[in-house]
Amino acid sequence: MPVRILVPTPLRPFTGQQSIVAAEGATVGALLRALTDTHPELRPHLFSAEGKLRSFVNVYVNDDDIRHLKREDTPVGPSDTVSIVPSVAGGSGGASSTLSSQTPLTPLTPLTPLTNEEVQRYSRHLIIPEVGVEGQQRLKNARVVCIGTGGLGSPASLYLAAAGVGTLGLVDFDVVDVSNLQRQILYSSADVGRRKVEAAASRLTSLNPEVRVVTHEAPLSSANALDILGDYDVVVDGADNFPTRYLVNDACVLLGKPNAYGSIFRFDGQASVFATKGGPCYRCLYPEPPPPGLVPSCAEGGVLGVLPGIIGTIQATEAIKLILGIGNTLAGRLLLLDALSMEFRTMKLRRDPACPVCGDHPTVKALIDYQQFCGIPGAAVTAAAATAAVPEIAVDALKSAIDRHERLWILDVREPREFEICRIPGSTLIPLGELPKRLSEIPRGADAPPIVVHCKMGGRSAKAVALLREQGITNARNLTGGILAWIDRVDPTLPKY
């Protein structure tokens, strides 16, 4: 009898955009292999070359992680639901209405009385039994830091400031871009070009002048993470890349700081609380990161604008509950949201006794090189390696060749939706995921014209050039900087996304 498998958004391109797939198998391993036999392009995302289930993909039978059952030998039947939960660039019982379900965080500074103005501002909090005057004082004396002031950090920081969190730290080193405004509600059109922490601080203090905003305009790194995070009670992780995810996790565990985690991709969201006393950490959920480039970023895959508002607000809620010591947090649970079906599901999370960071015998006792851990070399090495790996052509050289009417075949490996937004004249669209099956459409042979391959920024097209060269098509070059560089330096009339 077939078993229902729930496929998350990042993997649906490999199942014909199906969110629910039925397959047959008596165990999880047999079921997943039947799934990848039917959808072979899904196989490298679930299994390594050696046939082992990848460590950055979690599989649940109903709400239980198979790592705490019989792993791939876990039996399944037609009444079971199997969920695939990959990492995206993250149990206790139901919510309680009592104050005794957890202990409030010990503030770094003594509680201070509320002013008359604060009593008026927070009056709706003060009349809630679970908050009251003492709870609001705890919020006033609390210190929360938001890692990133983008899609997740925007709603989280706004609600934390409105709630009266006394000190709010902001870690970001980016500037506001017009493409941010679709989801990053901290900013307005007038902020485009401003430093994010500067614009965010202005917005938050205008919302609540009682809040002290501390800005950290620098990349979070192994050199500064312990110093920055050590000054706060709670960390809200709104990072958009895997090295920072693992850095924040490890620093929180080493410092004993709870981590209100959230992640988003297209229509999918995840939320949890990591690094609480006796609870799991991010590495218990995802022991290892995916290989670079395997999981697309929001810049490549997109995200529904309201989704970070939902997840970021959940992160703020968890931070407030941690400060007040009320209810049951998401520690020990992973909350999954599929916004397309508007379904929330909660999966059990357990601390891994063998975890190298929070386990019984931790081996990671200091922060490490997280770029290296995630398989990402330094910027200079990356550039050199990319140049050595695939030949490239600059956008101005391509424009000159077109103006000279040279024979060229321009291959666009973006997705159809991106192609609709803007394109280089004369280009042919073959999405990267379809390229292995459509190699017959690529001109080859002695009379074949030179091939120029491009994507949005150059990453996907570099993979395409490498694939073509493996297939003996050696006259392909990668367009440096992709179509964004073409727009910047050749045709600024095209829309930029």
Cβ burial of 50 (10 Å; 0-12, 13-18, 19+) is: exposed
* Residue tagged active-site, from 146, 252, 298, 422: 298
3-state SS assignment for residue 153: helix
Residues 6+ apart with CB under 8 A from 290: 54, 56, 86, 87, 242
Residue 298 has what pLDDT?
72
From first to last of the 497 residues of the chain, give the pLDDT tens digit: 899 999 998 899 889 889 999 999 999 999 999 999 999 989 999 999 899 999 899 999 999 999 999 999 999 999 999 999 998 773 223 333 333 346 777 766 678 999 999 999 999 999 999 999 999 999 999 999 999 999 999 999 999 999 999 999 999 999 999 999 999 999 999 999 999 999 999 999 999 999 999 999 999 999 999 999 999 999 999 999 999 999 999 999 999 999 999 999 999 999 999 999 999 999 999 999 988 767 777 777 789 999 999 999 999 999 999 999 999 999 999 999 999 999 999 999 999 999 999 999 999 999 999 999 998 765 434 444 444 479 999 999 999 999 999 999 999 999 999 999 999 999 999 999 899 999 999 999 889 999 999 999 998 999 999 999 999 999 999 999 999 999 999 999 999 98
The model's pTM is 0.80
Instruction: Tell me the two tokens of residue 118.
Output: 């604060």
Residue 312 has what pLDDT?
98
Q: Could you tell me where the DSSP H helices lie in 325-453? A: 370-373, 379-389, 395-403, 416-421
281 included as an active-site residue: no
Radius of gyration of the chain (CA): 24
Q: Are strands 57-61 and 20-23 parallel, antiparallel or unpaired?
A: unpaired
Nearest Cα to Cα of residue 156 among 126, 184, 131: 184
Q: Specify the CATH architecture of the domain 380-489.
A: 3-Layer(aba) Sandwich (3.40)
Q: Rounded to an integer, what is the distance from CA 115 to the centroid of its chain?
A: 40
Residue 108 has what pLDDT?
67
Residue 92 has what pLDDT?
28
E-only strand ranges, 121-193: 143-147, 167-171
Q: Rounded CA gap, 24 and 87, in Å?
A: 25
Q: Rounded CA gap, 315 and 261, in Å?
A: 6
CA dihedral 170, 331, 210, 194 (to 10 degrees): 20
Amino acid at the residue 331: A
Q: Helix 459-470 crosses helix 379-389 at what angle (to 10 degrees)? A: 40
Cα 434-437-438 angle, rounded to 5 deg? 80
Residues 6+ apart with CB under 8 A from 258: 105, 234, 235, 252, 273, 274, 275, 276, 322, 329, 331
Residue 378 has what pLDDT?
55
Query: What residues are paired with 392 via a beta bridge?
Result: 478
Residues 6+ apart with CB under 8 A from 150: 172, 174, 180, 183, 184, 196, 238, 240, 308
Instruction: Tell me the two tokens of residue 66.
Output: 């198979």
Residue 94 has what pLDDT?
36
Residue 49 has what pLDDT?
87
Evaluate whether 374 touches 448 at the Cβ level (below 8 Å): no
Q: What is the CATH number of domain 99-376?
A: 3.40.50.720
Amino acid at the residue 423: R
298 included as an active-site residue: yes
**Helices and strands per DSSP (H, E), number in the chain:** 18, 18
* Residue tagged active-site, from 252, 281, 284, 455: 455
* CATH class label, 3-86: alpha beta
Residue 307 has what pLDDT?
96
Domain borders along the chain are 3-86, 99-376, 380-489
Residue 376 has what pLDDT?
77
